[in-house]
Amino acid sequence: MSFIGMALLHEFADRNISTIGISVAGAVLHNIGQLTVLAIVTGRLTIAVSYAPLILVSGIATGIFVGVTARYFIRGLSMTALRGR
């Protein structure tokens, strides 16, 4: 879910969504996938719903961190490529 959602956002969102936004979307979609599997395995939707707020908030925080890190990494790669020319 995460990879497909991030790929679609990257492809079709033009420049309207930043690297951080795509990362947060990927983290949240990953968490939704985890909660879905939890509900299927346990057979109880209430367990997944009770964990959802904590998992989704931590997913958003992690997505922001990874997005910021990726942004700096991408800038560093761009600078390195420019120096190599």
Q: Which DSSP category does 1 fall into?
A: -
Q: State the chain's mean pLDDT as an integer.
A: 91
Rg (CA), the chain: 16
User: pTM (2 decimals)?
Assistant: 0.83
Q: What is the mean pLDDT of residues 10-22?
A: 86
- The answer on pLDDT for 83 being more than 90 is no
- Assess contact for 44 and 19: CB atoms under 8 A: no
The domain spans of the chain are: 2-83
- Assess contact for 72 and 79: CB atoms under 8 A: no
Residue 79 pLDDT: 78
Between CA 3 and CA 44 the distance in angstroms is 26
Between CA 79 and CA 66 the distance in angstroms is 20
Q: Which DSSP category does 55 fall into?
A: H
Read off the pLDDT of residues 24-74 as tens digits, 9 standing for 90 and up. 999 999 999 999 999 999 999 999 999 999 999 999 999 999 999 999 998
